Every structure is written in structure tokens, then in C-alpha cells.
Structure 1
């Protein structure tokens, strides 16, 4: 049985008062429904179609809920099956007495855009999506949305738009904007064909025979992963090094690339199975209360029954300010942050979550997000692995088979581990989390007996993304959940040499150079006296034994033992300078090099892909183009990596040689003023590679969501008080800066 939607309780109805919309739109609605029935074919289970132009006109006149089905572009794997899901949603909206519409937004695939100019548009696309959704919803006066949630920047772009629109509508005294999100199913990872696997193993053996065990080890590491677009980059790096060392030819390398690429993606698409920004967004949007559990984690596009559950739930949300999108996300903000942390979420979302709150009209920043993250310890409850069969597709299979309830299970396990969660926050089921969790069936993580991803017993007591501060910058982020405890120990409280690059292109060329460390040694880049000082701090047990070694041998010993630490710094990548591209590729080149990944961490004012793991620090503010401290660093400088205390400091080289840690940076800026000017000039020249129309000027910095200044200025509400947790269904009539809870 369909659930009849109530009309919108709103004095404003442009379709009633203006005939043009009622002349233009009925054919669009009828066309959508006709196509939906045709697409569904024999699976269409509804009554005889009754969507006449006259009936559509009457519903528009009567202010029946006008619900936009928002999809994405079919040139992104997450959206190639949108036509099916949108058809099911359109039919059910009509059956419930609503008026369905459909529009889509462009959706950039970050995998496709990696290491090309498109990465400079990736972050900007989030704000562009928000603008486009607001434009379309306002121009055609839609009341709510059924969102087919995709990947990369689309999910939080649409969340931001609908929260913003909800705030604007309530400011104008109109009905709240309601929305429900249906994430695209999870794309099954590929498998390396057996014949190709054998050939790659032979390459590894040849590498060993030719005295290149590092190539063999790194190639076998790549072969152990579930095949994903991201793992293809790891193969690329290792195979290029194999070509450089004469182990395979360039022709063979390109042949292997082709055979790996075509075996990577399942034909029905979906969100890639790694726990990157796409699936992190899935978890986080669910944590925001915006995803119905019927469609949260699927291995194929949702069947009609699941779509019906989602659409039917809208009936309890319509006209109720409790379920206005801005109110829902503010009520759930703590839940979302803790779910993001416990599930090892993407660093990208540290900006996107701040942005969504600002678009919703709430004062919020990276500092406030970090405060919530650390006000109560959040344990690591996500045992995700691409090498042991525990990707997000495996989690989706566990949910579809009835063993797990996805984020409801994670929510429950956080409660069981003593983490305070807002159980009375509203969700798009039309109920609170408390009501959802009252049904205990399949709720505990213990129901998954084989290869569980969500855990009852934490892997370790900390998780998530930490915010760092230091004496040469204001804020940066590091994905602690992407570092093993042993790796964290390897870098924590260590002194690292800076290896500085003015841009990603220069860094990639160097990181792919098989002889990078040898060139650094031969050039005397790190002086012997400073190497000894670093050794005395990082590994005092070796200091006396290695004190008499010459510079080259000392360098080699420190590399072999892992006591040499290098901070690969890539600057000039911030929002204003270059659109804040992801530094996935250089970090992947580090991770695909067994020797280098023990030594190097990467620091940038750019971003990282959600699938990035290892010692990666990004989002540094102020960015280089704004005169941030990262602009003044140079190769050979020393940084103190105090990761467990969430700090990185520039240290005085002379003091370290005297056996002391001295943190001082301000004098450096004065000494290197000319260097900074030259670099700023280079940044401005390089900036012209990005279209002027799409640059992120007039926006806040990474600590404040990278949103238009006007959005930031108008975000004045307090999410702790200006939020409604319960209330009767009634017309929303809120003053800007207030909320119904205060009426």
C-alpha cells in the first residue's frame, strides 16, 4: 500500500498563482513517468497509469509535494544505473500523491581526474553542485528531494545545497525542505586475471634475479590488493620503476596497464569498494540521519520494494520542521563525526562536513569538529582491508544477507563502547535513532561470524582524523586511522628533513625516480653534522656506533635502519593557489615504494584522496599563496613530528646540533622574504592553468570549509541550541537566526 502524502502547508504556491508552470511542467512529469514505466517493463507493479496532464495540473494547483529526484552524470561509474533507481522513485512518488521531477548534476570522478588538470576543479565542483541544486530547486519550486547519492564531491555538495535551501525557505516563512538520500550500490572490486597474475609474478622473480628485490616486493604488495582504480596507480608506479631499471620494456608495461584496467570495474558500476571519499560519504551521510537503512549498503541497484520504503517515509517528514534538512544535520552532527571517526573516514570530509553545517546556517569550523571528535575517545571499530577481503562490497554483502545493519550496527557498537551518541536525533525514517535501535534484530556486530568489518571490540582506542597545529602553520589534518600503530610509532616524536617541492608535478617526477635517495645522498643535501644531530634524537642507541662514519655511509645506515625521516613538502596546492587538488598520486608513489614509505611522510596545503593511507598531512592553513609558513620551507629544514600530541614544529638546526630541541620560525620568514616572493610569483603564473571562472577566490580557507564568504558570513546559528528534536507537524515559520524550538 502506498502512503498518501499530505499537501504542503505553505501559503506560497507559484503553480497556483502562475499558470506558466502548470503549462510547462505537466509534460515533463508525464514524460518522466512514461519513461519510468517503459524502463521498468514487466517489473512495473503499479496500477494502470493515471498521470494525465489534467491530473498533474490538479496536483500542482493543490500544492501536492513536488519532489525532485536528483541524480548524477552517467560518465561517473556511481551513476550509470541512475535511470533504474530514478524510475522506481518517480513511480512511487506519483502513487503517493506527489509530483515527481528529475534532474541531474555533473559529477567529477576523482579517480579519472587524478594527476590531470581536472583535480584543480574537484573541490570547486562541490560548491558548483550546491549552486546548481539550489538554482534548480528554487527555479522550479520543488519542496523536497530523493537524492541518488554518488561519489567524490557530489554527496556533500547536495547535502550542503538542501541544508542551505531549507534555511533560506524557513527564513522566508515557507515549508521546510525535506530530503532522503539513496546511495548508489557498492561496485565490486576486480580480480587480476590468473594468466596476468602469473606474468606479474614472473616479473617479480626477474626483478629478484636482476638485483632489484625492492621492485619484486612492491609489485607483490600491489598484487595482493583487490583490484580498484586506486590500486592501478600503485601498479603504475612500480611498473615505471621496473622499466627504468630495465626489468620490463615500456611496451610490456603499457600492455599490463591495459589488462589491469579492463579487469577493474564491474559493468553495472557503483561506488568503488575502497573506503575512500565515496564510501566515507555514504557512512557520514547515514550518520547525519539522511539515509534510509533500506538502501544504505547494497550490492546492486535497489529493488522497487526498497525504494518504496524510502519514498513512503517522506510522508511522515513533509511539513514537519524537525525533518527540515538543516535541522536534521545539526541534530546529528555529533553522531556523524563519531561515525566518520570510528569508520576510518576520508580527510576530505573534514572540510565537507564543516561546509555542510555552514551552508545550513550554523557557525562551525574545523576546530569545533576536532573538539567534538576529542571530547570523548572514539575507538577504531572498522576492520577494513583491501588485501584480506574486507572491503565495503563485503560489508554490503553482510548487510544484504541479513548479518549486519550497517551504520545502525556501528551506532550501536559505539554506544556499547561508551561513546555518547544523540539517540533522540531525527532521521529520514521519520523516527529517531532510539526508535530505530529498539529493534535489536541483527543489530550487534557479533552477528557477522566470518571476516567482520564492523567490530564489537575495538582494534585500538583511537581513530579518525586529527587536527594538527604548529609554529609555522595554524591547522592541518592527518588521517590517523590510515596509519598503523607501528607506522605512527615510526614517525612520532621524530625529527625529519624537509624535501621541498613547489608543485605536485615536480614531486611526482622525483618520487618515481628509482635513484632519488642516491641523488639526495650524492648531492650532500643533508649535511653530515645535521644527520648526526637527527640520529642522536631519533635513534640515540646508534649514535656512538655510527659517530665516526662519513656522510655517505651515515646516510645509508640511517636509510637502511629507517631512522632517517623525510618530510616531502608539496606547497602551492591550496584552494586559492590551485584549487586544492588531491595529493593521492605522490602519496601512492611513496606507499608503493617499500624503502621510501618507511622514511617519508607527505605534507601539503593540498588535499588527499579518501583512499590515501600512510603518513599524509594536508589541508595546511594558511596556504602558501596566502603567505602561510609552508611557503617559506626549503629542502634541508628540520621538522619535529609530535603526532600523538597533534603538533608539528619547525626546529632550529643549530640548537639540534647542540643536542637541544628549539622551536623557532618567525626569524625564518624575514630571512627568506625574497624566496617567498619568487615562489608567490610562480604560484600566480601556474594559477593561470586553472580557468578563472572556477577558481576558489572569495572563499574561506580549509579550516572553514572552503565555502563562499557570503555563506560563512550568514552562518550565525548555534547548532547546540538552535535545533529541534521533537515537535508536531506544523507549518514552518522561522525567523532567520532562530528556530522553532524557541517559539
Structure 2
């Protein structure tokens, strides 16, 4: 005998109806006619999945008349937003969604679901897919907004995955929430809970494959290239992941060039590595890239319940039900609407971003979300918060020492820390001015959430094993915003630099090596003769070399190759023509990986681009240069042999006056070379325009802002007029 609805509805929400002046499912009969069959089909599948689970109480009556009754009486309409199963983070979304749908119905609501395509940035590396990646964030925001508004949902339960998807979804929901504030709408605001996908465990290099790599290392040393052997050895110490596979590709290309192995052997090794990389459970990769940085962001913003933050596997029914219950407790409380939670937590999120060394991609996504919410927020608001109070590095994340995100999640499950709540407590205890009165989707403030915590990290966890540190690791952290005399702004993830590298590069002069696109740079950085190629290309006057020795160090008797190896002649590998309007602002992961695993030049050189970088990037990688080359930015005027003076502590990169430098002066040029190189710049812009046609026109980022405003559509930018008040 079937249970009655009253026996299965959660009593806490029995009398919950959304308080608003307009119900489209009452005022327009078409939705009331169309949508009940989608709800019934969803609930039939949910009931079939859960019927054998212990303690499952059933759904009661979910016939079409009952569904119609709930819709017409304005019961909570909750959409479950899921991703596409061709992405590893979304393998279990279907089952998760069905569990959520069941609980929504038990709580007296009406469940709906829709999915969105999710591009995997790892899959899209080094191919045209990276030119669609950032565009996908804006397209996700639009798609979510269209479905959410078109079907008149009240709230969202979001199955958040990797890269730009969480911020794209949050942007779309924030835009809907802001639009609903119009007095003529008569609708309730938008509420949302996010549940990040579980963490993907890193792989292990198969024993036979490791033996093959060792033989390559041995042969590399025998023929006189110990650096290649050392580079492979370093990479073997990382957990096996798609990003380390990319580094192996560059190293094996060097081995093929040396004729240590044939191309077929290289391909076989790469195949073996690929097959061992991802665990079959899927999830978000274990490195602290944009995927886990996005998890950190939505958690720091207060959108994630504690027990949903760091899952190790498919979400259990109990966790899903608690998440849905949390969402229901927010309904009819405008103080917990999406835009209110964003406004209250944005400064907190900036400080968390710094303390955890999160991806520099978030320097685009954070202002993007806020501008969709209607706030006039730019990159410089991030800078204002960052400079108002120092934030130490407290996140000892490591892919070589057993402290990756999978380990972080294991420690959370064991009760050794409480994820984001522990990070808030550590920073508050260290005197960082966190806004502990900010609201979260638990219905409690951060202050209330951490009030009962005696310690942020359990004393049972040895300090050297803990990812979250209660004692700061170092003072420098996060991402700096740089200025210069040939650009308006750019970013540098100092969290990706060692303290020694930061100190060594501060005040150094770099020689520009210019590339019009990533492909040309990748080809050169993978070469076994890169140092020789660079030396052969140089024809530097003695006085220039003398001045570089004076600034960068070095001995008078050094050969050119020794000067390059020592960093006396240090290079700024500049990749232009990769900005949003030029080529979709792809990640420059491949050149950063190839440079990082070119041991000689990694110690002495920087990358600089108007594109962006992968969240896992390490080293001196300067990105988001604005204005971009395509729009006449100064990065597009540089040529081989220009000199850049990098002052990290002053957060400046300046183009030097060559004549003054030869006289022993470090003087930034006062006349940008744009005019005298105008013909060259126009030729470059024409080639960028022609290259752009490789991208499908529907995904061009034409009518968007610069990186300083998050590369958002111009229409979103025009609506972002509300002041955001930084309270601390």
C-alpha cells in the first residue's frame, strides 16, 4: 500500500510556500500543462534508484494532479543543475541528481533538472579547445540564466565541477537574482546551494613505464644531457595527473630529438601514462588548479555546506538530503539570496584566495561573478582588499609530498579539520580581518560556524602532514597585480614561486624573446638545443652584456652559453596575440610546463602573456596583460632584444630605455615604442585577425570587457553599477 503524501513530506517544510506576488504556473496555464510530466518522469527514476536503500521512506503520491497542485500553489520550484558526463567531474551527477530530486519532493517542493556542457581544460590544452574555454564560462552563465528564468525556478541545487563551470553557474544565478529585484517583476529572489564534485585521486606511474623512463634518463646522461634526465626525474616525483603527462610529452619530445627513443616508443610511454592517470571514480583533479580553486571559491563565498565540501566519492544519500534541507531553510529569507551572500563574502573570498594560493584564473572569474550580480567590481577591488591587510600563506599543498587535495579530503573525512571553516578560523586567529558576520547557506554566519572549534586542525594530525597550517608558511602569498609603463595591469601568482625564486627575480633585467602565438613558443621550448638556439640568436654589444652582468650577476670571462645558464642573460618569453578578443584567452599551460621542466631556463626566465595560465602553473608566469595586443596594447609592440625591468616587491614590470641602460642607468622608457613600430604592430594585428578565424564565430569573445573587469559581456558590464562596500 502506498504511503500518503503527509507521511513522506518532511514536517519541517510542510507549510512552506514561496512568498511572492506572481506565480507563472498560475497566471499562465502553459507551464502548468507542460512541466508536470517532466517532474513525474524525474521522480519515477528517483524512486527506482532509492527504493532498496535502507531507511528510504518513499515519495508518496507523485501523480500528475498532485504535481499540478504543488505548482499552482507556489510550492518551492528547485532546479538541480548538473554537468555533462563527458567530463570526469560529472560521472555521478545522474545518481546525485535523482537523490536530490527525491528529497525536494519529500520536502514538499517540486524538483526539476537540467544539464550544461562542461569543457575539460585538461582535454582542451594545446588545441583549439582552449580558445573556447573562457567563452564557455560566459555561455554557461547565459544558458543557466535562460533556463532558470524561462522555467521560473526559485532556487538551485548545483552539482559543481571543474574550471569555469562553478563560476559560470554562479554568474547566471546572480544575474537572475539581480533582475528579480526589479519592482515590476513581483518575484522572489534566488537561493542556491553548491555541492562540489568529489576529488579525483592522482595516479601512479606503472612499474614497467617507470623503468622505460629510467632508461631514457640513463641514456640522456650518457650522451651529455643530464638536464633532461633531471627534468624527467623531477616529474616522476609528482602524483600522476594530466598536467604531469603534458610535461612528460615535452620531455619525451626532447628524447626523440636526441634519438634516444623513436616516436613510436614515446607514444607508447605516453599511452601507458594516460591509462594510469585517472581513477575510474572520476572527480576534480587532485592538484590545486582552477577546479579545486573553484571549489575553494564557492566554499569561501558561503555557498557550500560543511559536509558537502570535500567529498571522496559519490555523494551519499544522507549528505544529499542534508544539503537539500539546508537549501529549504533559506527559502523566503531574502538575506540569504545569492547576491546578498556574494556581497557579504567577497572580501573574505579574496583573502581565502590569497591564503590558499589558488588559481590566477579566479582573478577573471571573481569580478565576473560580482559584475553579473550587478556590483561595479574590478580587478582593482581585489587589489584594494589584498593591500589593506597582509594575508600569509597557510596552505601547504604539495603534489610530491603527500599533501594534495585528495589528502586534504581524506583528512577532512577523518575529522582532522573542517575544510573551509578551519581556514576561516586559522586566518581569524592570525588576526586577518575576516568578516565573520557574513551569511552562509547553512543559515549561520562564519562566526557561528567556527564558534565551537577549539582548534582549526586536530593535534592528532602531524603538522608536516597537514595541508592547512595554523602557523604561516611564509608572508608572501596569493596573486599580485602588477603595473608597468607599457600596460595597465597584469597578474603574477607569487604563490607559484618559491621564496628563493621570488628574491632572485626581484630587480632583475630580462631580455625579451617575442612570439606572436603559443605554437611558436611551444616548438622552441621543447627543443633540446634551446640554450644554443637562444645564444645563436643573440648579437649583444659588449656594453649591454657588461650592464647585464652588473645587474644580474656573472663573471667577465663567461661565454654566452654560461651567461644564459647562470641567468646573466635572462629571458622574458613574451607570448602576445592570446588575449580574449584575439584568440579567446587560452591557457598558456603548455609553454609554462615546458619552461618549468627545462631546468636551466626555469631557474632564470619568466613567461609573459595577454593570455592566461592553468591553475596548476608554477614559476614566474605573468598573465592577463591588459590591454591585449589585438587592441593595441603595449605587449604587442615588444620585439626581441627589448629589456624588461622586473621589480616584484614594487609590483612593477617596466620597459627600459636602451640608451640609458647602456650608460648604466635603469630608466623606464618615457616614450612607448608604439608609434615608431606602428607598421609592425599593424602587421601583427592583421595576422591575429586572420588567425582568429580558426575559432567558430559563435564563440568569439568580441563584445566583452578587458581582463580587469573579468572578460564579461558588455551588456553585463553596463548593468554592473551598484557599489560594493568593502567593510574591513
Q: Secondary structure at the match of 1:582?
A: coil
- Aligned with residue 725 of structure 2, among 720, 724, 727: 720
Q: Secondary structure at the match of 1:102?
A: strand
Counterpart of 2:659 in structure 1 is 654
Q: Determine if the alignment matches structure 1 residue 4 to structure 2 residue 13.
A: yes
- Aligned with residue 489 of structure 2, among 469, 475, 482: 475
Residues 284 and 636 of structure 1: is their aligned pair in 2 closer, same or farther, counting only changes over 3 Å? same
Q: Determine if the alignment matches structure 1 residue 514 to structure 2 residue 525.
A: no
Please give the residue correspondences for 1:44-59 in structure 2 after superposition, counting only pairs within 5 Å: 45-47=56-58, 49-59=60-70
Q: CA deviation at 1:79?
A: 0.5
Conservation of the 8 A alpha-carbon contact between 2:577 and 2:629: yes
Conservation of the 8 A alpha-carbon contact between 1:331 and 1:426: yes
Q: CA deviation at 1:199?
A: 2.3
Q: Determine if the alignment matches structure 1 residue 224 to structure 2 residue 237.
A: yes
Conservation of the 8 A alpha-carbon contact between 2:238 and 2:244: yes
Q: Determine if the alignment matches structure 1 residue 200 to structure 2 residue 200.
A: no
CA distance in 2, matches of 1:144, 1:621: 37
Q: Which runs of 5+ in 2 are unaligned?
A: 1-9
Counterpart of 1:555 in structure 2 is 560
CA distance in 2, matches of 1:627, 1:561: 35
- Aligned with residue 175 of structure 2, among 140, 155, 164: 164
Q: Determine if the alignment matches structure 1 residue 123 to structure 2 residue 134.
A: yes
Residues 667 and 700 of structure 1: is their aligned pair in 2 closer, same or farther, counting only changes over 3 Å? closer
Residues 317 and 64 of structure 1: is their aligned pair in 2 closer, same or farther, counting only changes over 3 Å? same
Please give the residue correspondences for 1:585-604 in structure 2 after superposition, counting only pairs within 5 Å: 585-604=590-609
Conservation of the 8 A alpha-carbon contact between 2:157 and 2:195: yes
Q: Secondary structure at the match of 2:123?
A: helix
Residues 590 and 61 of structure 1: is their aligned pair in 2 closer, same or farther, counting only changes over 3 Å? same
- Aligned with residue 675 of structure 2, among 670, 673, 684: 670
Q: Which runs of 5+ in 1 are unaligned?
A: 724-743
Q: Determine if the alignment matches structure 1 residue 146 to structure 2 residue 151.
A: no
- Aligned with residue 27 of structure 2, among 13, 17, 20: 17
CA deviation profile, 1:25-54 (whole Å, cap 9, x unmatched): 111111111112223452261225421111
Please give the residue correspondences for 1:83-122 in structure 2 after superposition, counting only pairs within 5 Å: 83-122=94-133
Counterpart of 2:5 in structure 1 is none
CA distance in 2, matches of 1:528, 1:274: 45
Conservation of the 8 A alpha-carbon contact between 2:177 and 2:338: yes
CA distance in 1, matches of 2:192, 2:217: 52
Counterpart of 2:202 in structure 1 is 189
Q: Determine if the alignment matches structure 1 residue 310 to structure 2 residue 323.
A: yes
- Aligned with residue 543 of structure 2, among 529, 533, 538: 529
Q: CA deviation at 1:408?
A: 0.6
Counterpart of 2:247 in structure 1 is 234
Counterpart of 1:28 in structure 2 is 38
Give the TM-score of the pair, scaled to structure 2: 0.96
Counterpart of 1:573 in structure 2 is 578
Conservation of the 8 A alpha-carbon contact between 1:445 and 1:454: no
RMSD: 1.5
Conservation of the 8 A alpha-carbon contact between 2:376 and 2:720: yes
CA distance in 1, matches of 2:432, 2:350: 12
Q: CA deviation at 1:631?
A: 0.8
Counterpart of 1:729 in structure 2 is none
Residues 161 and 526 of structure 1: is their aligned pair in 2 closer, same or farther, counting only changes over 3 Å? farther
CA deviation profile, 1:217-242 (whole Å, cap 9, x unmatched): 00101110000111100111111101
Q: Secondary structure at the match of 1:669?
A: coil
CA distance in 2, matches of 1:657, 1:687: 39
Q: CA deviation at 1:719?
A: 2.0
Q: CA deviation at 1:470?
A: 0.3
Conservation of the 8 A alpha-carbon contact between 2:36 and 2:67: yes
Instruction: Tell me how many residue pairs correspond in the alignment.
Output: 714
Q: CA deviation at 1:655?
A: 1.2
Please give the residue correspondences for 1:456-495 in structure 2 after superposition, counting only pairs within 5 Å: 456-495=470-509
Counterpart of 1:403 in structure 2 is 416
CA distance in 1, matches of 2:81, 2:433: 34
Please give the residue correspondences for 1:664-743 in structure 2 after superposition, counting only pairs within 5 Å: 664-720=669-725
Q: Secondary structure at the match of 1:238?
A: helix
